[in-house]
């Protein structure tokens, strides 16, 4: 049995708890939250022992592993505490809010030989995994460009009372949406060499960004664009779409399906053919032991539990891997602050009839 403690009983913490508790090889030995109300209700209805302080949970319940789903600003502190006491850690994304603390966590994880994982669940969505397999097989030739877009309806008004609306605690579209997009980018291509032309700005929020657009540069000429916007009311929930252009074809992946266009008939007998090849998620999806809100959420936690049981350190989304995402996010953040732009003096002097469509002014 793996003894697990869950720290932070907000949306993600409760979701993780509901998925991990039915695991036949897991015993949930305690839960931690700052809200006495939540702990009382949990105690009464689920029998779970509650703690107001994660230190007390670790000391008195002796978990083998923690699932940490607290506001991002507290990630580093809690994970350091856990790893220093020999407790493996599953952490909600992102890893850390500064490269310095992220690096410290990666070093600590490596020194302690403990299993670490960050909740970048898109790596467990079958269509994005299939895209990775197609890339690994070189099916679309030399890849020269990609575009990843994450849109959703999270912030549609200038209010918001939770930590997600506060920059100091790691709120904002960059850490919430763009982090998932950047993680898929590093899954396929690693961390970029440089970032340029970035826009990170608010649409509605007072203290945090609501949309992120950036160009990513790689050695060898590969470029990509990352778009994230959590103020898109047209979406029912967060969407993710990855498009990749190569010299021999193109890949499009989203949560439901994975499509491959091949310019020529492939050489090997792969079941693929020239033109469009489509794989639906229902064809690809592996069965899971327990389903709450998407197979990927179960698969990532099962992967973590299995890694802890087998002491496997080369698991998916380890702290070291998630740090690559942090690096990409940091480049985006710094480039946005720089706000460099190019214009040609006097270029507009002979232009006529250019309509204005109420283009937004970029602050700063």
Partner 1 sequence: MTETVMDRVLFGDNQFFGVNHMSEEKAREQAVRFRDSSAIVATLDIALDEGIRTLMCTTHERMAEVCAHMRADPGRYRDYVFYPCMPYAHKYNDAVAELGMMGALRKFAPQGPARALLAGGRSAAGRNVDPLVRLLVDAEMKMFQGLSTPVVFLQNVVVDFLMGLGFEEAFRVFADHIAEKYEAEPGFITMNLPALVDVLDRLGIANPIICSNINKAGFRMCGGVEQYERTLRERRFRAIAMSIMASGVVPPQEAVEYVASLPNIEAVVFGASSKAHIRQTKELVDAYMGRERDGQLNMNGS
Indicate the residue among 284 and 339 with the shorter CB distance to partner 1: 284
Instruction: Indicate which single residue of 199, 202, 290, 309 sits in contact with partner 1 (rule: CB under 8 A).
Output: 290
Tell me if 52 contacts partner 1 by CB under 8 A. no
- β-sheet with 50-51: strand ranges across: 50-51, 26-32, 2-7, 65-68, 88-91, 116-118
Interface with partner 1 in residues 125-154 (CB under 8 A): 153-154
Tell me if 93 contacts partner 1 by CB under 8 A. no
Shortest reach from residue 318's CB to partner 1, in Å: 26
Shortest reach from residue 81's CB to partner 1, in Å: 24
Half-sphere exposure of 133 (CA within 13 A, CB side): 12
Count the neighbouring beta carbons within 10 Å of the beta carbon of residue 364.
Answer: 7
Question: Is there a cis peptide before residue 94, judged by omega within 30 degrees of 0?
Answer: yes
Count the neighbouring beta carbons within 10 Å of the beta carbon of residue 136.
Answer: 9
Tell me if 14 contacts partner 1 by CB under 8 A. yes
What is the per-residue DSSP string for 148-193? EEEE--S--SS---SGGG-GGGT-SHIIIIIHHHHHHHHHHH-S-S
Helix (H) or strand (E) holding 194: strand 194-201
Q: What residues contact residue 15 under an 8 Å CB cut-off, 6+ apart? A: 292, 293, 297
- β-sheet with 249-254: strand ranges across: 194-201, 211-217, 223-229, 143-151, 239-246, 249-254, 257-262, 275-280
Indicate the residue among 234 and 342 with the shorter CB distance to partner 1: 234
**Among the candidate windows 204-212, 236-244, 332-340, 354-362, which touches partner 1 by CB under 8 A?**
236-244
Tell me if 357 contacts partner 1 by CB under 8 A. no
Interface with partner 1 in residues 256-275 (CB under 8 A): 256-257
Instruction: Indicate which single residue of 25, 27, 40, 84 sits in contact with partner 1 (rule: CB under 8 A).
Output: 40
**Among the candidate windows 12-20, 88-96, 131-139, 321-329, which touches partner 1 by CB under 8 A?**
12-20
Indicate the residue among 151 and 319 with the shorter CB distance to partner 1: 151
Query: φ, ψ for residue 49 (rounded to 5)?
Result: -70, 130
Are the beta carbons of 258 and 241 closer than 8 angstroms?
no
Instruction: Indicate which single residue of 180, 201, 255, 279 sits in contact with partner 1 (rule: CB under 8 A).
Output: 255
Instruction: Indicate which single residue of 133, 142, 159, 338 sits in contact with partner 1 (rule: CB under 8 A).
Output: 159
Chain residues in the site for partner 1 (CB under 8 A)? 10-11, 14-15, 17-19, 21-22, 35, 37-38, 40-48, 153-155, 157, 159-162, 164, 236-237, 239, 241, 254-257, 280-283, 285, 287-293
């Amino acid at each position: 049995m793996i003894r697990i403690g869950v720290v932070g009983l907000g949306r993600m913490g409760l979701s993780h708890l509901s998925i991990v508790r039915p695991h036949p090889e897991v015993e949930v030995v305690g839960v931690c939250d700052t809200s006495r109300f939540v702990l009382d209700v949990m105690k009464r209805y689920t029998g779970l022992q509650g703690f107001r302080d994660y230190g007390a949970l670790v000391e008195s319940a002796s978990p083998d592993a923690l699932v940490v789903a607290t506001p991002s600003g507290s990630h580093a502190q809690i994970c350091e505490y856990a790893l220093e006491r020999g407790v493996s850690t599953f952490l909600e994304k992102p890893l850390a809010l500064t490269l310095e603390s992220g690096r410290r966590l990666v070093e600590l994880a490596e020194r302690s030989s403990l299993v670490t994982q960050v909740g970048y669940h898109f790596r467990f969505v079958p269509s994005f995994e299939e895209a990775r397999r197609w890339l690994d097989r070189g099916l679309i030739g030399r890849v020269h460009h990609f575009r990843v877009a994450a849109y959703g309806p999270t912030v549609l008004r200038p209010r918001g009372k939770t930590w997600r609306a506060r920059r100091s605690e790691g709120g904002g579209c960059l850490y919430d949406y763009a982090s998932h997009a950047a993680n898929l980018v590093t899954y396929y291509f690693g961390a970029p060499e440089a970032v340029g032309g970035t826009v990170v700005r608010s649409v509605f929020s007072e203290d945090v960004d609501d949309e992120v657009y950036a160009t990513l540069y790689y050695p060898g000429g590969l470029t990509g664009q990352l778009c994230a916007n959590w103020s898109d009311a047209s979406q029912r929930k967060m969407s993710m779409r990855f498009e990749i252009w190569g010299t021999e074809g193109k890949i499009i992946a989203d949560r439901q399906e994975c499509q491959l266009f091949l310019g020529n008939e492939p050489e090997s007998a792969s079941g693929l053919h020239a033109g469009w090849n489509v794989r639906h998620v229902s064809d690809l999806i592996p069965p899971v032991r327990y389903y709450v809100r998407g197979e990927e959420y179960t698969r990532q936690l099962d992967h973590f539990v299995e890694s802890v049981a087998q002491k496997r350190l080369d698991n998916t989304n380890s702290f070291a891997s998630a740090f690559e995402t942090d690096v990409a996010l940091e480049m985006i953040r710094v480039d946005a602050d720089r706000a460099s732009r190019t214009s040609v003096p006097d270029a507009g002097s002979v232009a006529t009839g250019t309509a204005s469509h109420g283009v937004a002014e970029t602050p700063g």
